[in-house]
Amino acid sequence: MIFSAVCHAKDSYNIYLTEPTIKFKTIYLMKNFQQEDQEVLHKESGILTARLQRRSFLQYAGAGAAGVALLAAGCKKDDGSEGLRLGGVNLGSGDVGILNYAYALEQLEAAFYDAVVKTPYASISATELSLLTDIRDHELAHREFFKKALGANAIIGLEVNFKSINFADRTSVLATAKAFEDLGVSAYNGAGKLIKSADYLVLAGKIVSVEARHAALIRDLIENGTFANAEVVDSNGLDKARTPKEVLTIAQSFITTVINASNLPS
């Protein structure tokens, strides 16, 4: 087994095996198992071991748990920079990976609107400033929610790159806002089927419709009536859906920190 570790924050870590990837997930699994699911193992041991010997199963579990402990210890003193050199910020796998993916996008949006509201474009109307401030608050709520919900699994704060945006210019700001909102909608639409937990799916649903409300408003500010035009809604009446890879390829040009999405479900 070849181990490598990415330390995301001072108090958190993420691990993966370059090969075989199967066993990485098993380590996660067994970690959960140990913390919460020993009872299940007991109760279900009858069926679980019908043909798979209980002893070999538990040996496997033990190996995985030991691996976690080893790598966790190795990460404790890390400040995160080592992990970045090893291949960027790793979003992780499974639902945690998808939540980190959403967290990354919300970080990007929140940082953007924060800058918009702090240095509004020339002669902004009170109405537009109020609407953009609302959106800033929503993205802040989303970002902080994901951070809190992910806890120790949360990725680090990303460094953004807004060099291409002219914050003094309404056209530049609204065009970027439109791109971010449409991208966000397509990201959540494409990620829904990758989520395993019904609770997280509903949460993503609660957020994506708010992003769609933003997208429509921003589009209407640019040109009234373009809230759902053919650029974003096809002849079947469907909004866009993009894979994480497609989304991150677009988003990465606004993010300095390299994002490693290789362990996300697909």
Span 91-120, contacts to another protein by CB under 8 A: 94
Residue 224 near another protein by CB under 8 A: yes
Query: In terms of C-beta density within 10 A (0-12 exposed, 13-18 middle, 19 or more buried), how is residue 2 classed?
Result: exposed
Q: Does 134 bind another protein (CB under 8 A)?
A: yes
Tokens of 165: 């945006």
Angstrom distance (rounded) from CA 255 to CA 262: 17
| 205 backbone dihedrals φ, ψ, rounded to 5° | -65, -35
Both tokens of residue 122? 């020339």
**Closer CB to another protein, 50 or 122, in the complex:** 50
Residue 260's closest CA among 78, 87, 4?
A: 87
Q: Is 202 in the site for another protein (CB under 8 A)?
A: yes
Pick the binder of another protein from 11, 79, 137, 169 (CB under 8 A): 137
User: Per rule CB under 8 A, is residue 70 in the interface with another protein?
Assistant: no
What part of residues 148-167 is at the interface with another protein (CB under 8 A)?
148-149
266 binding another protein? (CB under 8 A): no
Taking the least distance from each CB to another protein, the nearer of 82 and 114 is: 114
Name which of residues 13 to 52 contact another protein (CB under 8 A).
22, 25-26, 29, 32-33, 36-37, 39-40, 43-44, 47-48, 50-52
Q: Tell me how many degrees the CA angle 249-254-242 measures, rounded to the nearest 5.
A: 35
Question: What is the rounded distance in angstroms from the CA atom of residue 153 to the CA atom of residue 13?
Answer: 7
Q: Which of 78, 114, 128, 239 binds another protein (CB under 8 A)?
A: 239
